[in-house]
Amino acid sequence: MLIYEKYISQIFDIKSEEEFANLCLQAFEYQYKNNENYKRYCNLLKIKTVNKINEIPFLPISFFKTNKILTKTKDFEVIFSSSSTTGSIPSLHYVSDIKVYEKSFVKNFEYFYSSPSNYVILALLPSYLEREGSSLIYMAKDLINLSQKPESGFFLNQHEELHQIIQSLEKKSQKYILLGVSFAILDFAEKYKLNLNHGIIMETGGMKGRRKEITRNELHKILKTAFSCENIHSEYGMTELLSQAYSKKDGIFECPPQMKVLIRDPYDALSVKTIGKGALNIIDLANINSCCFIETSDLGSVFSDGSFEISGRFDDSEIRGCNLMISE
């Protein structure tokens, strides 16, 4: 039986695969009992109990567009919404315990990069700042506050100011992170050539509707040349998740302890494996108040050490098909 406060404490202190698996089984039992939409989906698959991770049903991510994915134990405090093109339906993530999200993204950042107070955080997120309900903006705002550096902040289109701040930080040998949506970092890179010795460029994806779509490999090649740096970092998160994976080079992402990515056959949703190529399933144990087990529309590979890469995605207009945007 899952005891909520104990569970939240445990998921941020996982030390073994056995602990992770046990918490997954607790999460499934809790969500099957308390999340009506997830229970209904499991019942359609004729699955009511599980004994192993690979028996757990993963909820298609599209359900967040059409259903309220929320356990009945707590009412929601915040609604995060995905960006959407004209006429499309956004995903809505009803978050009933915002403190879990805050703890998750801070712990994840510390796990990969150390304390936010060691960095100046420069957030170049214009498209997200222009709308309501972004979980990325919520995270960036908190990291900016935790950095406790006067230079930290959001930037819409103030490229010259951002350029001057980066030059100043380089002169002071101050570590910093430029966190930005892909099209905005590209726009900035086309205006200014910099030689970065103390900074990290971290892209969060996001080109749709703003610039011609290019692969992550192409994006990173352009940015490495523009900023004279060896590696480009990436953040992998979703409106529907409360945890984030990070890549420090080559687009290979690693998960924090409470998160795991599995692989499935794009044409057989129930065939889940721990390694291989296909469509990605995500376990996010921080998502206990909505759904911890999500079947995404991303395509990629999962490797033997648990790391993964994204190679494309399902075309939303053809859910049954497999129109890929593959990065070679």
Reported as a pLDDT band with limits 50, 70 and 90, residue 128 is confident
Percent residues over pLDDT 90 in the chain: 81
Q: Which two tokens stand for residue 90?
A: 């956004």
Mean pLDDT of the chain: 91
Provide CB contacts within 8 A for 199, sequence distance 6+: 166, 169, 170, 175, 176, 177, 178, 227, 229
The 10s digit of each residue's pLDDT in 186-218 is 999 999 989 999 999 999 987 655 667 788 899
CB 216 within 8 A of CB 207: no
Is the pLDDT at 320 greater than 60, yes or no? no
Ranking 224-233, 243-252, 315-324 by mean pLDDT, the lowest is 315-324
Q: Which domains does the chain have, with CATH numbers?
A: 100-236 (3.40.50)
CB 71 within 8 A of CB 96: yes
Q: Helices 182-191 and 159-172: crossing angle, nearest 10°?
A: 80
Q: What is the pTM of this model?
A: 0.92
Q: Which two tokens stand for residue 279?
A: 């469509």
Residue 71: closest CA among 284, 239, 290, 241: 290
For residue 110, the model assigns a pLDDT of 98
What's CA 113's distance to the chain center, in Å? 16
Average pLDDT of span 137-148: 97
For residue 318, the model assigns a pLDDT of 37
Q: What is the DSSP string of 287-310?
A: GTTS-SEEEEEEEEEE-TTS-EEE
